[in-house]
Chains A and B, each alone.
Chain A
Amino acid sequence: MPKDSGIGASSKRREDVRFLTGAGNYTDDINIHGQAYVHFLRSDVAHGRIVSIDTAAASAMPGVVRIFTGADFEGVGGLPCGWQVTDRHGQPMAEPGHPVLAQGKVRHVGDPIAAVVADTAEQARDAAEAIGVEIEELPAVVDMKAALAGDAARVHDDLPSNLCYDWGFVEENKAAVDAAFDTAAHVTTLELVNNRLVANPMEPRVAIGDYARATGESTLYTTSQNPHVIRLLMGAFVLGIPEHKLRVVAPDVGGGFGSKIFHYAEEAFCTFAAKAINRPVKWTSSRSEAFMSDAHGRDHVTRIELALDADNNFTAIRTETLANMGAYLSTFAPSVPTWLHGTLMAGNYKTPLIYVNVKAVFTNTVPVDAYRGAGRPEATFQLERVIDKAARELGVDPIALRRQNFVTEFPYQTPVAVVYDTGDYNATMDKLEEIADIAGFAARRAASEAKGKLRGLGVNCYIEACGIAPSNLVGQLGARAGLYDAATVRVNATGSISVMVGAHSHGQGHETAFPQVVAEMLGIDESMIEIVHGDSSKIPFGMGTYGSRSLAVCGSAMVRATEKIINKAKKIAAHLMEASEADIELKGGQFTVAGTDKSVAWGDVTLAAYVPHNYPLEDIEPGLEETAFYDPSNFTYPAGAYACEVEVDPETGKVTVERFSAADDFGNIVNPMIVSGQVHGGLGQGIGQALLENCAYDPETGQLLSASYMDYAMPRADDVPFYAVDHSCATPCTHNPLGVKGCGEAGAIGSPPAVVNAVIDALQSGGKTVAHIDMPVSPSRVWAAMNG
C-alpha cells in the first residue's frame, strides 16, 4: 500500500498551486517604490580593446539618471572565483580578473561595457544606443586547440597564454597507466565533443539592488539558487559589505539548472548602483541577453582510451580533455572539468588504473560553468561511449561487458580518490532489462524495419557524486567555501512548524518533500509544516541548491534539528506527565509513557514550551526552536542503468526517440512522484543535449550563432517519448540520516550516451559501422555519417 503522507508518499506539490495559477512571486514581480532601471550596453564583438567610451550625448537623454562604465568600478573588487585548481606541477591555476564592467578590453560578445540607469527601461535602452564606443577589434580566440597554439591571441594580456591549468589526476598513477596500455590485449580509442549548452531556465535572470541610507543596509533581490553564497561572494569579495548590512533574497525562481548558482556582474552592479544613486535599481534580462550572459555548460573536447585484457576486463583508462572556461572564470568553473569530472571516471566499473588530463582554456566566449550534472555528464558520456565502442570492436554484448566489469563490493575505493559507500549495479541493470523490455527489442526492430526505418538500442550506466560535499575534502581540493548546510526548525506555540532551510527550491519541490520528513519524524500532519527559504535574513545560513545536495545535505541538517526538537519536547512531556524522560515515546503526534496509558499531545507540549506555567524552567529554556548544521562525511553515489530505443529514417537521418527507460538507485525516496518528475526533467535535458541543443560560435568572428530559439533547439514535448522510470532498487546511503542520495541530475547525466549508443546501433543494423557521431546528433550529422 503506498503511503498517503510522510516519507514515501507521493504528496501533491503544494507550491504548484501558486506556480500554476500565476500567484508566484518571482524577482521580476518585485517592484520597489522609486526604482530605476538599468540597461547594459554589451559588446557586439568577441575580442577588442576599448579605445574610448563617449557617454556625453547619452547622459543628456530623457530619464537618464547616471551612466556607469568600468572606470566607476576601479577600486571595487572583481567577481571572485570560488575554486582554485592546482595543476600537474603543483602550481595554482591562472586566475585573471573579472571586472563588473569591462575595463580596457571586451572579451566576449555580451561582455558589459557600460550600464545606463534611467527612470524607465526603455529610456535606459534608448540612451545606451547613444553611447559612442570605439573598439579596436582583436582576433577572436574561439577554438580551444587554436587557443593553445603559441601564436594565438591572448584573451588576458596579463597571462602568459590562454591556458588556465593543465591538470593531471591521479598524477602519481600516470606511469602505471601508461604501462597498462603498453601491455593491454585490446585498446579502444574515441575522440568526442561534449557540446556546449545554454541552460535556458524558463525565467531569465533578474536583479534588484536596494539601499537604505538610514541604516546603511543593502538588499539584493536576485534569481539565485543560493542567496547566502551570493551574500558571501558579493559582500566579502566585490563590494565589501559586511553580512549584517547585506541581505540577499531569492524569492520564487523559475528554474536554474546550475546557471543561477554563480555570482554575476549584474547582481553586483545593481547593489553598487543602488547605493551610488540612492535609488533601487532593477535589471531584467531579455532572453537574448540570457544567451550571451548566463554561464554556459559543458564544452569539452576529449580523447579517451580504454585498455582491456584478454578476458575483456577493463585494465586502464586514459583521457585527455580540453575544457572551455570561456572568457572569465565563473564562480565554480574550474571545479567542473576537474573534481566533478575526473573523480567520476571510474564509473560503475572496477578499472584499477585511471589517468585523467584536463587542460582548461580561456576563449572569447561566454564563461562556462556548472550545468545540471556538471562534469559528471562529461565523464559518463565518454566512458559509456568508449565501452560501447569496445563492445562493438570485440563483438561482445554491451550489457554483458558492463556487468563483467561492475564494482560489486562496497565500500569501493576507486583509483580516482572517491569511495563509493554502497550500490548494486547488477540490480539496476536487471531492473532496466525488465522495464525496457530488452527481450522484446528484436521484434520492435523488425517492426521498424518493415516501415523502412532503422531501429537501435543503446544502454549505459552512470554514477554520480552528489550530496556535495564534505567540507574538509573539498577544501583540500581547492574549494574556497564549505559545503555543509543548515536548518532551523521553529516549532510555534500551537504546534505548527516553520523550517528555515539553506537549500533553495526553484522547481525541485522542497516545500512539499521537506515537510514530509519532519511530519514522519513527529507523527503530525504535513500541512502543519512550512518551509522557509531564499532569504538570508530569515534563514540561519545555507550553501544552496545544486549538485543534487538539498535533501542529502540540508535535509540531514533538518533531521538533526528535528531530533533536537524531539529531545527537548520529550523533556517537556516528561515534566507534564511526571514521568522519566527515558520512558517517553513519541508516536503519531502523541507523547506516551512506556507501560502506562498516560499521554500528552504534540500541541500540549508545544504550548507548554511557549506558555511555561507548568514547565521545568530550572532545567530547560522555554521555546522550541533548534538549529543544526550538517556537513556530510562523504559524497552520495546515485547510480543506475538507462536504455534508449531510437528509430532512424535512413533517407533523412532524422532520429526519433521511441522508448526511454531509466532504472535508478537513489537510496531512500521521500516523494516518489517528485523523484519521477526530476528524472523526467533530466531525461528531457539529456535527450535535448544528445539530439538538439547546440551552442555554436562562429570560429572566425566569435559571434554566437545560436543566439535565439530560432537556432538553439530546445527539446519540446513531442521530441521525447513517454518514459519508463523506476527507482525501486534502493541501497540507502550509509552516511546520512535519511539514507538518501539525490536525484536532481541523474536524468541529465545518464541519458546522452544511451541516445548516441542507440543511434550507432541503428546505423550498424543498417549495415553502416560508424565509430561516433558528435552531439547533437542532428539529421544532417547522421546523414553525413551514413554517407561518409
Chain B
Amino acid sequence: MYNFEFERPGSVAEAVAALASEGAQALGGGQTLIPTLKQRLAAPEKLVSLGGIAEMKGVCVNDDGSVSVGGGTPHAEVARAAAAHYPALAALAGGIGDPAVRNRGTIGGSLANNDPSACYPAAALGSGATIVTDRREIAADDYFQGLFTTALEEGEIITGVRFPVPEAANYQKFVQPASRFALVGVFVAKYADGVRVAVTGASEDGVFRWSEAEAALNQSFTPAALTDLAVDPDGMIGDLHGSKPYRAHLVNVMTRRAVQAAS
C-alpha cells in the first residue's frame, strides 16, 4: 500500500467536498478497493470513507411501494432488512461472498465498481432500479456502461438505490469455483408492465438485459418459453472457468431456473 490521507466525513455534503480534491477516492466497505491498494494497483492521495454517513445507510419502503437502499448499506443488512419487502433482492445480497464480505461490502461500492461478475448489477438492471447520487438520479438502463465502467462522474457518490418491487422475481447464481462470484448470474423480475431479465458474469461487456428472453417471457412467464432461445457465444467471456459456449448455455439454464423459482 502507498501512503494516503484519510477522511471520514459524517454527511454526504462533507463527503462530496472532500472528494473534490485532486486524487481523492471514495471508500465504501473496502472489499474491492483495499485489496487493490494492497497490491499497489491504485494510489489515491486521499481516501474518503463513506462509512460514517448515517444518511447513506439502511433499507426503507417508500410511499409508492418501492424499496430504497442507502448507498452505504452493507450486503448483510440488505439481506436482513429487505427480506420482507423484496425477497429476491435480499436473497441476492445474502449470497454475496462470505460473512466478512457481506458485513463490510456495500451496495454503493458494488455498483460503483461494476465488476462484470458482481451480483448487484443484475439486481439493479433487472429491477429497472434508479441509482441515486449526490447530484442526480440515473436509470439503471443508462448507468451500466461496460466492464468496470458506469455513468458516474469523478467524485460522484451513490447515496442510494431505489428498487421498484416486482410481482415476482428471482436471482440464480452459478458460482465461479474459485472466487465464488457469478460465473453466470441471472436476475428475472416480473412487473405489471413487463418482464426484465438481467445477466451478469457472462458478457465481455458486463451486465446486460437479455431482451429476447424478456419478449418471450412477456408472452408466457414459464421456463418453457425460453427453451428455444440462446444467447450468442460471441461476446461471452471465455476463460479458465468456462468457455464462451458454456457461458451462453448457462445464461439459458439460469434464466429458466430463475423463472421457475419466481413463478
Contacts and interface: CB of A to CB of B under 8 A. Distances in A.
B240 A709 contact: no
Contacts of B249: 783
B177 A651 contact: no
A780 B240 CA distance: 9
A706 B242 contact: no
Contacts of B241: 711, 778, 780
Contact of A694 (B240, B242, B243): B240
A1 B246 CA distance: 55
A710 B183 CA distance: 12
A444 B179 CA distance: 31
B177 A713 contact: yes
Contacts of B39: 288
A779 B240 CA distance: 11
A527 interface: no
Nearest to A288: B39
A709 B177 CA distance: 10
Interface in A644-664: 651-654
A705 interface: yes
Contact of B240 (A653, A654, A705): A705
Interface string B246-263: 100110010000000000
A692 B175 CA distance: 12
A785 to B, nearest CB: 11
B178 interface: yes
Given A288-B39, A652-B253, A709 B246 contact: no
B174 interface: yes
Contacts of B178: 692, 706, 709-714
A692 B177 contact: yes
A257 B183 CA distance: 30
Contacts of B246: 653, 779-780, 783-784
Interface string B168-181: 00000010011100
A651 B253 contact: yes
A654 B243 CA distance: 14
B250 A784 contact: no
A779 B179 contact: no
A709 B179 contact: yes
Interface in A704-732: 705-706, 709-714
A787 to B, nearest CB: 8
A129 B2 CA distance: 12
A654 B176 CA distance: 11
Given A651-B253, A652-B253, A783-B249, A778 B177 contact: yes
A696 interface: yes
Interface in B221-251: 240-243, 245-246, 249-250
A706 B241 CA distance: 10
A711 B243 contact: no
B174 A652 contact: yes
Nearest to B39: A288
Of B40, B177, B183, B242, chain A has the most CB atoms within 10 Å of the CB of B177
Ranked 8 nearest A-B pairs via Cβ? A713-B178, A713-B177, A780-B242, A780-B246, A710-B179, A651-B253, A711-B178, A692-B177
9 contacts: A125-B40, A129-B40, A651-B253, A652-B250, A654-B174, A696-B240, A713-B178, A778-B241, A784-B243
Interface of B: 1, 39-40, 174, 177-179, 183, 240-243, 245-246, 249-250, 253
Interface of A: 122, 125, 129, 288, 651-654, 691-692, 694, 696, 705-706, 709-714, 778-780, 783-784
Given A122-B1, A706-B178, A778-B241, 9 more contacts: A129-B40, A652-B250, A654-B174, A710-B178, A712-B178, A779-B177, A780-B246, A783-B246, A784-B246
